[in-house]
Structure 1
């Protein structure tokens, strides 16, 4: 097979596998790569979904007006990883990771930095896997293994999280550790999917380095021969009932559950917080990822109200009122999503308050007051919308939204969504936030969904990636 043809097939399979894997771990994701096979090769770029569009000036200055990126030829067979800090290529909203190796002298991988990510670490490790696979396949030049390489990158979430945890704990001084991370991650998945008397798990499990256990404040400990194994998920799930809705935690050494404790934990401990249908994984106070529906996710599972923030910026509200109104909306939306029921927020920024059909109040609720904000969260359970005016007060609940049929209605989205489209099409100063019972959040204005997901074109077989110089010029 000609060298250029192998190069095209290799880059295509690995980039496509990376893109699909990251799209399951995060929101829909794109990927791109800049590479040069030898130290004297001109840089080529593969960016089939225009991830790097708008970054051409920086890429031109970095790759075409300088040769610092070429570096030196690695001495051994190992991969010399180039972190984003070391590379000095700062692209807004983009996660980068590069590498030098003998088979592929230089490669720099790119993907999207989503605003709701718990941590960039697992995704960076994922990019490192892509760089390793490129180097390995260019070393052997065996086309038979390329399809497998792409498939591997689609299913790397657990491995990326594990490697990030090991690297993070090593930087914190715990290179010589007795904690095995893979069994703990497997236990998290098993416990999170196990109901007890119809209820999803709640509570916290903490894994402490065995050498640090003498610093743990145990309330009770289990005898050595009666300590439940972490992989016995049904038994551990039952034990979680003893610590749910409390400050108590189950303490493990990574292999068994040792007992129940309270108070701060020592060292670079790992913690899994189970919160019903979802949960979170921590290293000390640093959030690593979330988990839900039997898989790990990069998302912090909080509602992304960026589009609402952008709409508030276009009003004549003061910056302080904009911030407070966004905080109020975020609090209600996240509380509603946690309780697994839908709601609608009618955010009214007009010069005069809009008359809505619904249950009105003799005196509006001041949503800056904690108790009244809690009441608003409870009122959100009722059918209809919460009418929040620009003065940060709630004027009505159970409000009905009506209007004429508009383009873009989607019968698959339900009455809340389609009513919001019609209502906002007739009232230009209104922004409606629709929260579905299965957690998606839609922000609608002027009859248009601002949060509509962009569908990138499908990647098909690619020719040889173009030279970076030609790509920049085009």
Structure 2
């Protein structure tokens, strides 16, 4: 096989595996690679889904007008990582990581930075795996390994999270640790998918470094011969009932459950917060990722209302009122999502209030008052929409949205979705936010869903990636 053919196949399989794995860990994701095999090779780019489109000026200045990125050749078998903060290539909305090795002199990997990520750390470790696989395969040049390389990158979530946790705890000074992260991550997923009397787990499990246990404020401790193993997920699930809806936590040393404690925990402890169908993983006070359905995810599970913010900026509302209205809607949306029921919010930005068919008040509810905002969240449970005006007041609930049929309707999405399309198509100063019972949030304006996710097509072709200079010029 020719040099160019191996290069094409290697990069293609690793890119596809990386993109598929990141898409399952986060939202639909793109990936791109800039590389130079030899110290004097011209840089090439593989960006099949236009992730780097719009960043051409910065890439031109960094790679074509400067040679600082080339650095020194690596003579050992190690993979040297170059972070974006170190090499000066920091692109807005993009996570990047560079690497050098003996067999691939330079490579820089890029992927989408989604706005709802708990942390970019695990994704950077994922990019590091991709860089390592490129280097290994260019060293062996065995085409039979390439399918395996792509498959490995599809299933790296647990490994990426583990490596990030180890790196972050080491950065905080915990080099000599007795905590083994893999068993803890396995236990978290096991407990999260175990019901007890029909209820999903709630409560907090904390893993503390054994050398720091004397600083833990235990309420009670279990005898040494009766300490359940952390791997016994059914037993741990039962014990969680003792710390539900309280300030108490279950404490482990990474192997066994030691007891129940309260108060702050010492050192760079690990914590898993179980919240029913989902939960969150922490290193001390830093959020790492979420978990649900037996898998880890990058999302913080908070509603992404960027499109709503942009729509409000286009109105003639006062900037202060825009900010307050966005906060009100955000709180209502997240409260509804946490309670696992759907709702529809009609945001009326017109100066002349729209008259909607529904239940009204003698005096509209002032949503800037905490008690009335809580009442509005409860009213959102009722069938129909809640009507929020530009005056930051709730004017009605259980409101009906009607309209004529429009393009883009989807019978699979239900009545809320299609009613929002029709209603916003006929009222240009209306924004509708629909929250589904299974958590997704959709924003509608002028008969269009602005939050529709793009479905990226599979990468086609195995042609050699173009030179970066040609790509920029084209």
TM-score range normalised by the length of the shorter chain: over 0.9
Matches within 5 A, 1:57-456: 57-456=57-456
Distance 2:159 2:119 in 1: 15
Distance 1:75 1:218 in 2: 52
Q: How much does 1:339 deviate?
A: 1.1
SS in 1 for 2:358: strand
TM-score (norm 2): 0.99
Q: How many residues align?
A: 474
Distance 2:460 2:154 in 1: 17
TM-score (norm 1): 0.99
In structure 2, list runs of 5 or more residues that go unmatched: none
SS in 1 for 2:95: strand
For 1:342-373, what per-residue CA distance to the aligned partner results, in whole angstroms no more than 9, with x for missing partners?
Answer: 00000001011100000001111111111111
For 1:302-331, what per-residue CA distance to the aligned partner results, in whole angstroms no more than 9, with x for missing partners?
Answer: 011111111000111111111111111111
Q: Which stretch shifts more, 455-464 or 310-319? A: 455-464
Distance 1:102 1:458 in 2: 31
Distance 2:66 2:184 in 1: 46
Distance 1:358 1:104 in 2: 66
Distance 2:102 2:267 in 1: 39
Distance 2:199 2:205 in 1: 17
Distance 1:72 1:171 in 2: 26
Distance 1:302 1:355 in 2: 31
Distance 1:324 1:210 in 2: 46
Distance 1:301 1:292 in 2: 10
For 1:208-232, what per-residue CA distance to the aligned partner results, in whole angstroms no more than 9, with x for missing partners?
Answer: 0000000000000000010011111
Distance 2:133 2:329 in 1: 45
Distance 2:284 2:320 in 1: 33
In structure 1, list runs of 5 or more residues that go unmatched: none
Q: How much does 1:460 deviate?
A: 1.9
Q: Which stretch shifts more, 75-84 or 173-182? A: 75-84
SS in 2 for 1:50: coil
Distance 2:226 2:259 in 1: 10
Q: How much does 1:248 deviate?
A: 0.2
After TM superposition, what 4+ stretches of structure 1 lie above 6 angstroms from structure 2?
none
SS in 2 for 1:357: coil
Distance 2:458 2:148 in 1: 20
Q: Which stretch shifts more, 317-326 or 209-218? A: 317-326
Distance 1:318 1:213 in 2: 53
Distance 1:208 1:264 in 2: 11
Q: Which stretch shifts more, 450-459 or 347-356? A: 450-459
For 1:158-192, what per-residue CA distance to the aligned partner results, in whole angstroms no more than 9, with x for missing partners?
Answer: 00000000000000000100000000000000000
SS in 2 for 1:244: coil
SS in 2 for 1:457: coil
Distance 2:236 2:98 in 1: 41
Q: Which stretch shifts more, 451-460 or 10-19? A: 451-460
Q: How much does 1:74 deviate?
A: 1.4
Distance 1:322 1:228 in 2: 52
Distance 2:59 2:340 in 1: 45
Q: How much does 1:456 deviate?
A: 2.2
Distance 2:234 2:457 in 1: 44
Q: How much does 1:26 deviate?
A: 0.5
Q: How much does 1:448 deviate?
A: 0.6
What is the Cα-based RMSD across aligned positions, in Å?
0.6
